[in-house]
Amino acid sequence: MTTLDIIRKTKAAWSALWDADAETKNRLLTAMADSLVDHTAEILTCNETDLEAARGRISDVMLDRLRLDEGRIAAMAEGIRATVKLPDHTGRILSETHHANGMTIYKKQVPLGLVAIIYESRPNVTSDAAALTVKSGNVCVLRSGKEAVRTSTAIVKALKQGISAVGGDPDIVNILEDTSHESARVLMTADGLVDLLIPRGGAGLIRACVEQATVPCIQTGTGICHVYVDEYADLDKAVKIIVNAKTSRPSVCNAEEVCLVHSAVAERFLPMLHAALTECIQVSGQVSSPAPVELRLDERAAAIIPGTPAGPMDFDTEFLDYILAVKVVDSVDEAVAHILKHSTHHSEAIITENEENAESQAEEIAEESALEDSESEKETEEENGGAVQETIEEILEDAPLEEVSNCAKETDEAEVPAAEETSGESAASKTAMEEIEEAPAAEIDGVKGACPLTHAPFRVLVCYHHTA
């Protein structure tokens, strides 16, 4: 069966779901979760095959992202069950206006139809994506990267059996076993069939979708996440937070990539950080980094601890590895300015014992980011003849996904080298398409609606401990 045949079959199955009530959808989801657990052995067998094929081709960090075990499959099932507990907004009236002539105009939340999701070597995305689309009354076609295709196919098989067991149409969830560039292009250009395309991956995949998709597309991006150690921080606590944020799973999109340290504590803190991340010693009774972390240091940090001099791109790179860029700043305002300049609007942390400092700076980051988003939207509208763009909140409320899955524990990478255009198609674009299979997965919210682009609201994590 061709990619187009699968797309058409899935779209036809939407009639069984688009007007389903919450009870029906939740019954399907519960059965999907149960079936996933029931087929753990089969999924793990396929996963081992994928792992064996990938060894020597991808890094150990990326192998960990690909690897499943009974605990991870159980967690995937629990993720589906958590989706059951989400409110069902299908049919919700978002706004209503009554006119003097008797006309009533209202905005109603409805499913979109067929959601195509292209992702890379994270098999748990398979169940997350399927659950969220079913919950929101949509059907989905999934396209995994080649490293995870056997595992992802086994997961979909289990989900479909669960759907069938409770009388649902199993074609509401389908996966492409074809991981060629052509299958991705078909998804990107299936006008009239694919109602929304969601790429979950690295920069190469994202750019390929942005440049080549003719269907509506939610654009994602990289996770360059910062941790700022304030002058009022508990330094022992800061070390523990950073060790966890950088080393627990460096391949995920919310892993820390940049550490900013206030100059007032840099002389004391940076040696602690260096010891915890590079020497694998005991820190406050706990083993520190499971693997040495390479520190990419600005000039002021390099004057205090040994490490690699930071290059011009180190504060704008999602490493997805045991690498951390470090910079010394003189104030919380300077830290915020750096974050606003280099952040990808994913997750940021301020570690401080000063509650007022934490809250005020969190608000500043959020406000500045919202202003940036507003300006971006205005520019996009002008560039597209004044076309109205919805915010990410509206899109996520009104369209296919009621709630984006927690992106903790997920990511991928991919920087596409510049290239000259050749024979009507840019070489850079071809390189991007080549990376669809090879790159791993990063994530940040953004939107490309009938081709304009807006950014997602800034999400801020504030870490502090109030001792008063």
Q: What is the tens place of the pLDDT at every residue in 70-106? A: 999 999 999 999 999 999 998 889 999 999 998 999 8
Residues 141 and 262 in one domain: no
Mean pLDDT across the stretch 141-170? 97
pLDDT, averaged across the chain: 79
Residue 442 belongs to a domain? yes
For residues 408-423, one letter each, b for 16 or more C-beta atoms within 10 angstroms of the residue's C-beta and e for the rest, the string is ebbbbbbebeeeeeee
Residue 383 belongs to a domain? no
Indicate yes or no: pTM above 0.85: no
> Looking at residue 365, what is its pLDDT?
67
254/218 Cα distance (integer angstroms)? 19
Alpha helices (runs of H) in 343-461, residue ranges in sequence order: 355-383, 392-398, 427-438
Q: Please check the confidence at residue 466 and state whether its pLDDT lies above 60.
A: no
Residues 40 and 90 in one domain: yes
Query: Is residue 209 within 8 Å of residue 252, measured between CB atoms?
Result: no
Residue 377 belongs to a domain? no
Residues 282 and 303 in one domain: yes
Burial of 360 (0-12, 13-18, 19+ CB in 10 A): middle
Residues 204 and 83 in one domain: yes
Tally of domains within the chain: 2
Residue 175 belongs to a domain? yes
272/342 Cα distance (integer angstroms)? 25
Q: Please check the confidence at residue 67 and state whether its pLDDT lies above 90.
A: yes
Residues 268 and 188 in one domain: no
Query: Is residue 179 within 8 Å of residue 169, measured between CB atoms?
Result: no
Task: Read off the pLDDT band of 283 (50, 70, 90).
Answer: very low
Residue 93 belongs to a domain? yes
415/202 Cα distance (integer angstroms)? 7
Residues 156 and 248 in one domain: no
Residues 52 and 17 in one domain: yes
Q: Please check the confidence at residue 368 and state whether its pLDDT lies above 90.
A: no
Q: Which domain holds residue 243?
A: 225-370+460-464
> Looking at residue 355, what is its pLDDT?
81
**∠ CA 446-317-329 to the nearest 5 degrees?**
105
Residues 152 and 196 in one domain: yes
Residue 84: phi, psi to the nearest 5? -55, -35
Residues 51 and 190 in one domain: yes
Residues 171 and 313 in one domain: no
Kindly report the CATH number assigned to the domain that includes residue 344: 3.40.309.10
Residue 443 belongs to a domain? yes
Residue 412 belongs to a domain? yes
Residues 200 and 231 in one domain: no
Tokens encoding 238: 């800061």
Residue 113 belongs to a domain? yes
Q: What is the tens place of the pLDDT at every residue in 29-66? A: 999 999 999 999 999 999 999 999 999 988 888 888 89
Burial of 93 (0-12, 13-18, 19+ CB in 10 A): exposed
Kindly report the CATH number assigned to the domain that includes residue 406: 3.40.605.10
Query: Is residue 233 within 8 Å of residue 242, measured between CB atoms?
Result: no
Range in 231-245, 255-269, 302-316, 335-349 the model is least confident about: 335-349
Q: What is the tens place of the pLDDT at every residue in 245-279? A: 998 888 787 899 999 999 999 999 999 999 999 87
Residues 19 and 46 in one domain: yes
